[in-house]
Structure 1
Amino acid sequence: MAKKPVGPVRRDFAPWEDPAARPFIEFRNVTKTFGDFTAVDDLSLKIHEREFFALLGGSGCGKTTMMRMLAGFETPNAGEILLDGQNLAGVPPYRRPVNMMFQSYALFPHMSVEANVAFGLRQEGMPRTDIALRVSEMLKLVRLEHFAKRKPHQLSGGQRQRVALARSLAKKPKVLLLDEPLGALDRKLREDTQFELMDLQYELGMTFLIVTHDQEEAMTVADRIAVMDKGRIIQIATPAEIYEVPNSRFVADFIGDINMMECKVVAHAEDGMRLHCPLFSCDIDVAQKVEAGIGETVWFAIRPEKVRISFDEPDSKVNAVHGEVWDIAYLGDVSIYHTHIADEETVRATVANRSRTVEKPVGWDDKVWLSWDRDAGLILTR
């Protein structure tokens, strides 16, 4: 029987599921230290051709160091880095078929847009007529052909970002490295540019590797995400799998909002498990089985949008808990309710605002019931 997909499937592309597929980029037991600090710790990773891959993590987790080693700006203390089957050891940055787009864009302020895009091509000695054709092609690709004669200071932030992208793509590298490329843009422009990047990567059929600390950005653009912490990869999966099936409390807590409670296993069933959480007056029935015996400690995790909030007591005595609304955040598209359950422990519920008016809105200090389906949450053992 075919594997049931987790979340929406953006495109029919999953070479990582084929054991025979050869990786395009491979880190083999790579370690990088700076004095006593280990930035990357015995890390192995495989990225496939035409993949949009994201390295996601907080500051100091090692994601930028990995990108800089691939670009040739840093040298590993141990391990190997391969690109298209070639060991990159000893290959200087300017000989590697990769290009990097920096967060600052690093445009030359005294040069026009077309001169900025052409700079790397001139450095390589490409004929002038070929440069003109390539620059025209790149500016058309990023929809800036009418801005060729302008200087960077005459452009908006989003336009400068697209100039930097065109310059990075002009030499037609095998891999484009994106180091926090959208961090300088405002929220609305950043969201629009994320979709532009996705479409551009698909159109070019190139391999993109993006480094970001922005969870939403990684979830939007990437085919797969590697969540990193302290120089190690904690989980590699598609965005939907990272969000819906995190492999640890660290990943579950790092990606989005989540309610997480320590529980004890009280029973096993054929299609799930029964848990007891001291904070709840009910047992928790979960449609998931894990390797944990009766009485062992596990953690129950559930996303706020999967929790229902109601004045009416549910029929079931499992997966339903009573509480008092403590805080409400109205965000336009959704409302977030913080409900105190016991000892000021808070459970969050997110409700979509599907209509402009509500007949009986839930307010502060209201007594409410929180409930959820047995397949809404998951059990974590680490």
Structure 2
Amino acid sequence: MKSLGSIRRDFAPWNDPNAKPYIQFDNVTKKFGDFTAVNNLSLTIFEREFFALLGASGCGKSTLLRMLAGFEEPTAGRILLDGQDLRGIPPYRRPVNMMFQSYALFPHMTVEKNIAFGLKQEGMPKPDIEKRVADMLKLVKLEQFAKRKPHQLSGGQRQRVALARSVAKRPKVLLLDEPLGALDKKLREETQFELMDLQQELGLTFVVVTHDQEEAMTMADRIAIMDKGEVMQVATPPEVYEAPTSRFVAHFVGNVNMFEGKVAEQAANTTRITGPSGAQIVVENGGAAAKANADIVFAVRPEKIRVSSKKPADAVNALEGEVYDIAYLGDMTVYHVRLDDGQIVRASALNAARVTEDPLTWNDRAWVSFRPDAGVVLAR
């Protein structure tokens, strides 16, 4: 099997048939009156995994997290943690801790007292509390801020205090509900890597809820993409991006171009598609069966498409159109090309050189081209 995307770490228990899931959602349904927030959902998460629940607002991801934390009970189904059914176990008895988007720090307490609060509630001896708090402050690099109160800290520092308080009790599972939503873009990107390093160092299982695709792709070992209370796909970030299993997932994660048409010819590993205007493209379909004249969709990411003023001599698939829009983003330039059949194609060109060899501007005639293996055939 070909590797998709960048190689992450070797940790991949979901590929081991003998590995036992650490967290199991077994046919879980959650209803609020007539509204079904989670619909007969089954999902497994492994120990020490950094797992992301990704979806738009209202898809059920936070409800799933709250049921795992014990703030909500399933209407039907079971949730198991390390083989134990969690039904009826109150939140404070579960070996999990939750970090909220608002951080929920005590404004009248110093940083060290915020971190120590849960340990005091558990009755830990004072010398042990002092050592644990010192360890947590060192872990999140806030030793010099121990005596400050939350209002004297930046947003990123408050986020780290909340994180230190969450892991101070050493839960088996840390739940993070939109943990970076209150941070600005640059700080959010820096904190993503800090969270990854922290999770590796602590060896905990992290389950994060987010609507930010880039955040999930950066941090998670696997991602569950949710819609209307159901899981649409569970896979590693490269698999979700390069091999989506549905149009919904392809559209939701990143940008994508959909070339629709009918099967004109089927070979051993390639399919010739005839589009609505009669234009044809050749795609590799990995052996997927496609009957003659059947409707088919080929999804291609913008960075896999080349834009040029002349038709490339070696192009298997090349379609002509007109430059409709251009966005210069510094590291790349995004082109919107309106094909002669009316379809808008989005293409991203990396600005590897300071001077563009083949400059294109608005209303220029242009060709978009891509390899037969540049995308994926979608059946649904």
1:304 is matched with which residue?
302
Match of 1:366 among 356, 364, 367: 364
Work out whether 1:196 is the aligned partner of 2:194.
yes
Separation in 2, partners of 1:380, 1:185: 36
Match of 2:223 among 222, 225, 228: 225
Work out whether 1:8 is the aligned partner of 2:27.
no
Match of 2:116 among 112, 115, 118: 118
**Closer, same or farther in 2 for the Cα pair 1:317/1:12, shift >3 Å?**
closer
Separation in 2, partners of 1:258, 1:343: 18
The CA deviation string for residues 351-370 of structure 1, in whole angstroms up to 9 with x for no partner, is 00112222441111111111
Match of 2:18 among 1, 17, 20: 20
CA-CA distance at 1:20 after TM superposition:
1.5
The SS at the match of 2:67 is helix
AA partner of residue 45 (structure 2): I
**Closer, same or farther in 2 for the Cα pair 1:171/1:277, shift >3 Å?**
same
AA partner of residue 175 (structure 2): L
1:180 is matched with which residue?
178
Contact 2:272 2:280 in 1 (8 A): no
Separation in 2, partners of 1:105, 1:317: 53
Work out whether 1:83 is the aligned partner of 2:90.
no
Aligned residue pairs: how many? 380
Match of 1:321 among 308, 312, 319: 319
Separation in 1, partners of 2:214, 2:281: 33
Contact 1:55 1:63 in 2 (8 A): yes
Higher alpha-carbon deviation: 16-25 or 284-293 = 284-293
Work out whether 1:210 is the aligned partner of 2:211.
no
The CA deviation string for residues 197-251 of structure 1, in whole angstroms up to 9 with x for no partner, is 0111011111000000000000000000000001110100000000000000000
Using the size of structure 2 for normalisation, the TM-score is 0.98
Contact 1:273 1:288 in 2 (8 A): no
CA-CA distance at 1:378 after TM superposition:
1.4
Separation in 1, partners of 2:144, 2:33: 49
* Structure 2 gap segments, 5+ residues each: none
AA partner of residue 107 (structure 1): L
1:148 is matched with which residue?
146
Identity between Structure 1 and Structure 2 (%): 65
The CA deviation string for residues 290-317 of structure 1, in whole angstroms up to 9 with x for no partner, is 2320100011110000000111212257
Higher alpha-carbon deviation: 275-284 or 15-24 = 275-284
Where in structure 2 are the equivalents of 1:238-253 lying within 5 Å? Answer: 238-253=236-251
Taking only aligned residues, the RMSD between alpha carbons, in angstroms, comes to 1.2
Using the size of structure 1 for normalisation, the TM-score is 0.97
Separation in 1, partners of 2:118, 2:350: 49
The SS at the match of 2:234 is strand
Contact 2:309 2:358 in 1 (8 A): no
**Closer, same or farther in 2 for the Cα pair 1:159/1:317, shift >3 Å?**
closer
AA partner of residue 97 (structure 1): P
